[in-house]
Amino acid sequence: MKYFITLIVAVILIGGFLIYRGIYYPIEPGSEETVIFLVKKGEGAKEISINLKEQGLIRYSSLFRAYALIEDKAEELKAGEYELSPSMNIPEIVDKLASGDRIKKIITIIEGWTAKDIANYLEVEELNSDLEGYLFPDTYEISPEDEIEEIIEKMLANFDKKLTLELREEIASQEKTIHEIVIMASLIEKEVRIFEDKKIVSGILWKRIESNMPLQVDATITYITGRKSTEILQEELDIDSPYNTYKYKGLPFGPICNPGMESILAAIYFEDSEYWFYLSTPEGETIFSKTLKEHSEARKKYLK
């Protein structure tokens, strides 16, 4: 009987030691090796523990599950890519997966990019054309496993955040819609570089609309054709498109790019002037003219 009790105690002690070692003792203490570990969406503690064992990060998958359950973290393990190491024990791995301390990826959407440009950058086939103008240019931190819909949602949410209540009230006071402002901002983004010039160009374009003059914005033609050249061909001016501001008066059908904050502000807080015409030099300088004659002379001088 005494021998049996001794045996039971020994088994318990050995079992306890193995459990303790399996949970708290890393596979390779002091190792500097790192492993990229992926938790797929929908995976639970069972699938995660099996994958951890297969990648040589833990000894026993059952101990991982047991520890996660005891610590009430089994339901908190988040999908994503994680940088793990064989020098980490189970509590450290569980804490990392539960905290969502995932590998992050930084993407930067450039002001003036079209939805097509963004689709190419994100390596997706295409984006809904209705998103044009509202994919706010900025730097975003995303997770590698994020779906394109989640990334787009971040851009749209950022747009809503940037367009503050004060700006919305100012737009409403001018009896304009947000969509009209975004369209105007997209034209300005493609046409002018400097903020002060953007405000003057905005004033010119709004004035042309009020005077029932065609906007004649070259950037709308290149949006139609997809050509990167700033040179507009004569036959392109006759393209029958609701984006052709040479053929149709008023704002084009929709935004021609995704404008940055400066262009949006310029579209809202435009500057009145005596100018009716403008052009951009190859160096990016904006030349303003009061009359068509002055504008024609400027074209000969700066756009040789």
Q: How far apart are CA 80 and CA 97, in angstroms?
A: 9
Cβ partners under 8 Å of residue 240, min gap 6: 247
The CATH number of 26-99, from 3.60.21.10, 3.90.650.10, 3.40.50.300, 3.30.1490.480, is: 3.30.1490.480
Cβ partners under 8 Å of residue 157, min gap 6: none
Q: What percent of the chain has pLDDT over 90?
A: 62
Q: What are phi and psi of 269, to 5 degrees?
A: -100, 65
The pair of structure tokens assigned to 243 is: 């984006």
On whether the CB atoms of residues 182 and 264 are closer than 8 A, the answer is yes
Q: What is the DSSP letter of 231?
A: P
CA neighbours closer than 13 Å in the CB half-sphere of residue 297: 7
Q: Which of 89-93, 187-191, 208-212, 219-223 has the lowest mean pLDDT?
A: 89-93
Domain boundaries, the chain: 26-99, 105-161, 164-302
- pLDDT, position 217: 95
- Residue 114's pLDDT band (cuts 50, 70, 90): very high
How many of the other CB atoms lie within 10 Å of CB of 294?
A: 15
Q: What percent of the chain has pLDDT over 70?
A: 93
On whether the CB atoms of residues 109 and 158 are closer than 8 A, the answer is no
- pLDDT, position 206: 98
| 14-21 mean pLDDT | 63
- Residue 218's pLDDT band (cuts 50, 70, 90): very high
Instruction: Identify the residue whose tokens are 């390779």.
Output: 28
| 280-304 mean pLDDT | 88
Average pLDDT along the chain: 90
pLDDT above 90 for 231:
no
Q: What is the pLDDT of residues 139-185, one digit of tens each?
A: 998 887 788 999 999 999 999 999 999 999 999 999 999 999 999 99
- Residue 41's pLDDT band (cuts 50, 70, 90): confident
- pLDDT, position 23: 78
